Each structure stands twice: as structure tokens, then as C-alpha cells.
């Protein structure tokens, strides 16, 4: 059998694709990714990718592109469409409907249009929760009935009760509105919103860029938007006068902040109501409940929709297991739990084969690959703080190890180590590094070393985390922002070390700015975990990889050593 052709949607740097290609049974010929730095990384590491099939946006997959992909025959669709939860508790949000959740539907639409042999969808492990929901649209009624989707009646908050918002309800209930004429420009709204969140307004306007911005805006204040009622117009005019006084004298009038808050709240409600209208969301009864402006809608669970829609497309999916995999159970030196749905077309599932996620190969914590196994061989190699620094040469005798995971990292190494780059350590950070022992974090610092943080009690336990060689890593996110510390050296963890913790092989080279590379590493699906899942899909299709990951990692010998 020739290699199966893959398209990777929302590809990032290409962790999923890397794992699939490691089996030597797949070739990634198409992908979608909009981040410019991640695109550079993906292109560099996936040589089978065809330039004409490297799209920036899933919306770029129109009829012509779908037809071209069908001609060459896409066998597998993989990817992790972003998905986020909704909560009424977060009332400061300016949007109601998550565009990201719509991308889940776009992902399934690609599967429907391409009709691949199999697919893999990766997502956050909370995707099954009630917070991950779609709002029912009027045009979806027949489809949701056909899929037998359970609808939930919900009352959602779109704003707070204030004098102006009460008038706004009357306006919204009466008018067929052209929202664009009543809404402020996004940047202006953002600036006004920022003012009302500040504790010290005078200090805010003492900053030159803020004062310059508003001086310019005041010259065209009456042209920024139209007014939906006289009361709002009067408040808008008074707000201009009060802003002018603050800019001139630094003195804030007593009613300024209340007026500003009302205008911001009106704008926020208008934004959310426009979303409802633009997305054809079914709703009724804009009313007041417990001092809040609310609307009644119907919602349905994202996870239930995904499963039922995919089954309707005649795919056999992994319904017999719990959907959640921990990367540590598959040789990745990191605790990382993610949700995976895999599916194979019903007509292609081989007799006696199951569509199921891979069974864990390491089940006890003492079996896991620890941080020492993952990165200690890099400890003596020089690092750099410059992103354009040359790769580090590695002596030939150092390319072979007795450790199977290290040999996996070094496979096809060309004699150089790339991306062994770290953040520069400043004086305060260095003092913190030196005071922390393996396993300790920011909260173990003395109060004196915490003094640069306004409210250090809210700092997460992952910040200034000194790694412990004898432990497995926590979930790798952007370790530059978290300021993870090397287990034995007083320096930050390098991009390459973070990549090792994510199970990227050393021949996978990251591109872009320093922070972009750290972020790409943190966003990725661990390639080694992806490889195990790819093998499960092969198995369901009646195929086997040339070398199974469990044999490559020499897991059986590792377990025997632990027992002994």
C-alpha cells in the first residue's frame, strides 16, 4: 500500500502531522494554518506538503479547492479545531458567540465534503462539558431534529440593568436595526473600556500615548457613531466635555465614571445583540432578571453534536472508550490530557478490527519517562539567547544512547542541535532561579523576591517552576511566559528542551520569533502521542506500521527493568 494522503486542519507547527509521518505510512500533502510563524515551521518540517494546498483559513476551502483535493484523493483528515466554553459568569466579555466553536462545524464540513477513509479530531479534555455549547440558529431546526439533538432552554446575560440599558431594551424590541451606525469602532470601544477598568484615571491619562489618542478622538467625537435615543446622545456629549476637562486639568468630575460605564455597557449589549442577529440565533424575550439584561435562547452540546453528525456521515467512531488520553501513558515525559475522536468509514473498517484509541503502554507513574531521561543529555551543550544563533554541533559518539527515548529524539539527526535557545536571565530573575530547589515554584520565594508582583497570591504554581529531573513534567504551555527553570542550571528552559518534553524529535526545527517558537511548542499535540493514535487508525483500516512505537521505545524491556 502507498502512503495515505493527509490534510491537517488548524495545523499549528505540525505536531499531529509529525506523529503521523513518523509511522512512515502517511504523507501530509495539505494543511490549514493562519499563524505566519507556525506556517514557516510547518513548511520547513513537512516536505510532502504541496504549496498550492497550504491554506491560511478553512474558509479558503471553497468548491474549486475541495474538488482539487478530491482528485488527488485525501485519505485522512486530522486536526484540532479550537473550541471554548461559555459561561454567564463572564459578563465583561464583549462577544457572546464563540467564533472558535463554529470552526468545529467547519472541520466536520470538510470531512463531509472530502469523504476521507478516516479522521482524527483533537480537542480540550473539557469539550464534553456543558459549557461547550452551540446556540441554536433558526436555519438549523431541521438538521437538529434529524440528528435528534437535545436542546436546552437557557437564559443568558447580555448586559447590566442601567438607565440607558432600560431604554435600549425598548429600542431593540421595536426596531429592525442597522447596527453598524450605532456601534463605536472596536479600537475606540476598547480604549473607553480600558478607562473604566482603571483604579487611577489620572494616571492613565498621564501616559502620553493615551492622552494623544483621546485628544485626536475628541476632534471628531460627534461623528463617531449615530445615536439611538436623545438620552444616549446627551450622555455622549457630556462624556466628551468631561474627557476634555480631564485632559486639560487632570480633574475628573463626579459623574464621569458612571456615565462612561453606562455607555460602555450599552455598546457591549449592542455588540452581543448584533451577534445574535448576524448568526440568525433563535431567541425571544429580551427582559430583566436580577438586575441583568437577558435573552432566552436554546443551546446544544458541542460534543453530542460532533458525535452524532460524524455517525450520520457513516463513520465508525471510538465510542467504547473515554476519549481522553494522557500523553504520559504513551512515552511522552509530560502530563497532558486531551480529548480525541477518531473515525473510520463504516465500509472500510476491516472485519475483526475495532475503531478505538490506543491502550496505554505505561500505566504506573514509576514507569513514566522522567525529565532527566528527556533532557539531561543536553545539559552540557552551550545555549544562546539569540534566535538567529547557529545550531550546536554534536559529537558523533554522542548521537547514540542506551536510552530508547533519547534515540527517538536523535533519529535522523544531522550532527547539529537546533533551537537550543533560551530567554536572557536578568538580575532579579537570576536571584529567583538561585533560591529555588527542584520542584519549587514562585510561591516558595521569599516575600522580598516576590515584591515586583502586585498581587502575588494570584500567581499560578507553574510560574518560576524549577523542574525536577526525577519527576515527569506538568503540561507544557508557553514555558517562556511561565519562566520554567532548568532542573540543575540557573537558566530558563530552552525551546529545544521544551520541545523534547513535548516529544518533538531533534530534527524538527522551529521557525519565527523566540516567543513564537515557545508558543508553537506549547500549543502542539505531542508527536509521539499522535504516532500511537495514527497506528490505531492504521489498525482499524487493516494495516500496520513498519515499526510500532512500542517497539521503537523498547517498552517491554523498560518495564522488565522496572520490575527487576
Q: Which residues are catalytic?
A: 83
Q: What are phi and psi for residue 50, nearest 5 degrees?
A: -90, 130
Chain centre distance of CA 251: 43
Considering only CA atoms, which of 317, 376, 380, 381 is closest in space to residue 346?
317
Contacts 24+ apart (CB under 8 A), 349-352: 349/316, 349/540, 349/541, 350/540, 350/541, 350/542
- Residue 206 to residue 200: CA distance in whole angstroms: 10
Considering only CA atoms, which of 245, 7, 256, 249 is closest in space to residue 107?
7
Can you tell me whether residue 18 is helix, strand or coil? helix
Helix (H) or strand (E) holding 521, with range, is: helix 514-523
Considering only CA atoms, which of 423, 508, 429, 500 is closest in space to residue 469?
500
DSSP state of 360: P
Can you tell me whether residue 252 is helix, strand or coil? coil
Beta-carbon neighbour count of residue 254 at 10 Å? 7
Report CA dihedral (307, 310, 311, 314) to the nearest 10 degrees: -170
Note whether 522 and 479 are within 8 A (CB).
yes
Positive or negative, the CA dihedral 60, 66, 71, 72 is positive
Cell of 102: 463554529
Note whether 81 and 121 are within 8 A (CB).
yes
Chain centre distance of CA 553: 29
In angstroms, the Cα distances linking 249 to 214, 245, 323, 509 are 14, 6, 61, 55
Helix (H) or strand (E) holding 341, with range, is: strand 337-345
Encode 59-126 in three state secondary structure: HHCCHHHHHHHHHHCCCEEEECCCCCCCCCCCCCCCCCCCHHHHHHHHHHHHHHHHCCCEEEEEEECC
Considering only CA atoms, which of 358, 369, 407, 362 is closest in space to residue 534?
358
Cell of 51: 504549496
Can you tell me whether residue 310 is helix, strand or coil? helix
- Residue 201 to residue 400: CA distance in whole angstroms: 62
Amino acid at each position: 500500500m502507498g502512503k495515505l494522503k493527509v490534510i491537517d486542519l488548524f495545523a499549528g507547527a505540525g505536531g499531529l502531522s509529525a506523529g503521523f509521518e513518523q509511522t512512515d505510512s502517511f504523507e501530509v500533502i495539505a494543511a490549514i494554518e493562519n499563524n505566519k510563524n507556525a506556517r514557516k515551521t510547518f513548511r520547513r518540517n513537512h516536505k510532502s506538503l504541496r504549496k498550492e494546498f497550504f491554506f491560511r483559513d478553512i474558509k479558503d476551502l471553497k468548491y474549486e479547492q475541495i474538488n482539487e483535493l478530491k482528485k488527488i484523493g485525501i485519505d485522512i483528515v486530522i486536526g484540532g479545531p479550537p473550541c471554548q466554553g461559555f459561561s454567564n459568569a463572564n459578563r465583561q466579555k464583549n462577544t457572546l458567540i464563540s467564533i472558535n466553536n463554529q470552526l468545529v462545524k467547519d472541520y466536520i464540513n470538510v470531512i463531509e465534503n472530502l469523504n476521507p477513509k478516516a479522521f482524527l479530531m483533537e480537542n480540550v479534555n473539557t469539550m464534553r462539558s456543558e459549557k461547550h455549547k452551540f446556540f441554536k440558529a433558526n436555519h438549523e431546526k431541521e438538521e437538529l431534529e434529524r440528528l435528534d439533538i437535545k436542546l436546552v432552554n437557557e437564559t443568558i446575560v447580555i448586559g447590566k440593568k442601567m438607565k440607558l440599558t432600560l431604554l435600549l431594551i425598548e429600542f431593540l424590541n421595536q426596531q429592525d436595526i442597522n447596527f453598524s451606525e450605532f456601534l463605536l469602532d472596536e479600537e475606540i470601544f476598547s480604549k473607553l473600556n480600558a478607562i473604566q477598568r482603571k483604579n487611577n484615571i489620572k494616571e492613565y491619562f498621564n501616559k502620553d500615548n493615551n492622552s494623544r489618542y483621546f485628544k485626536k478622538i475628541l476632534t471628531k467625537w460627534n461623528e463617531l457613531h449615530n445615536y439611538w435615543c436623545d438620552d444616549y446622545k446627551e450622555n455622549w456629549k457630556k462624556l466628551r466635555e468631561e474627557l476634555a476637562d480631564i485632559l486639560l486639568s487632570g480633574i475628573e468630575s463626579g459623574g464621569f465614571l458612571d456615565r462612561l460605564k453606562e455607555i460602555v455597557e450599552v455598546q457591549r449589549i449592542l455588540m452581543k445583540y448584533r451577534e445574535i442577529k448576524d448568526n440568525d440565533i433563535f431567541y425571544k424575550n429580551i427582559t430583566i432578571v436580577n438586575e441583568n439584561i437577558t435573552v432566552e435562547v436554546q443551546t446544544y452540546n458541542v460534543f453530542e453534536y460532533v458525535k452524532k453528525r460524524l455517525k450520520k456521515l457513516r463513520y465508525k467512531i471510538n465510542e467504547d472508550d473515554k476519549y481522553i488520553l494522557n500523553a504520559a501513558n504513551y512515552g511522552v515525559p509530560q502530563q497532558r490530557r486531551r480529548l480525541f475522536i477518531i473515525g473510520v468509514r463504516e465500509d472500510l473498517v476491516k472485519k475483526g478490527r475495532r475503531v478505538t484509541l490506543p491502550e496505554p503502554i505505561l500505566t504506573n507513574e514509576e514507569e513514566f519517562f522522567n525529565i532527566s531521561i528527556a533532557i539531561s543529555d543536553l545539559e552540557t551543550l552551550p545555549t544562546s539567547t539569540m534566535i538567529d544563533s547557529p545550531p550546536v554541533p554534536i559529537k558523533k559518539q554522542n548521537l547514540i544512547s542506551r536510552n530508547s527515548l533519547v534515540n527517538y529524539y536523535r533519529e535522523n539527526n544531522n550532527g547539529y542541535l537546533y533551537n537550543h535557545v533560551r530567554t536572557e536571565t536578568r538580575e532579579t530573575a537570576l536571584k529567583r532561579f538561585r533560591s529555588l530547589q527542584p520542584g519549587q515554584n514562585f510561591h516558595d520565594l521569599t516575600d522580598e523576591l516576590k515584591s515586583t508582583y502586585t498581587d502575588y497570591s494570584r500567581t499560578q504554581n507553574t510560574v518560576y517552576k524549577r523542574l525536577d529531573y526525577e519527576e515527569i513534567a506538568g503540561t507544557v504551555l508557553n514555558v517562556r511566559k511561565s519562566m520554567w527553570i532548568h532542573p540543575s542550571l540557573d537558566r530558563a528552559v530552552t525551546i529545544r528542551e521544551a520541545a523534547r518534553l513535548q516529544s518533538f524529535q531533534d530534527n524538527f526545527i522551529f521557525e519565527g520569533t523566540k516567543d513564537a517558537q515557545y508558543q508553537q511548542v506549547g500549543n502542539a499535540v505531542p508527536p509521539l502521542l499522535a504516532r500511537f493514535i495514527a497506528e490505531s487508525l492504521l489498525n482499524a483500516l487493516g494495516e500496520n506500521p513498519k515499526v510500532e512505537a512500542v517497539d521503537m521505545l523498547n517498552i517491554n524491556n523498560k518495564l522488565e527493568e522496572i520490575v527487576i
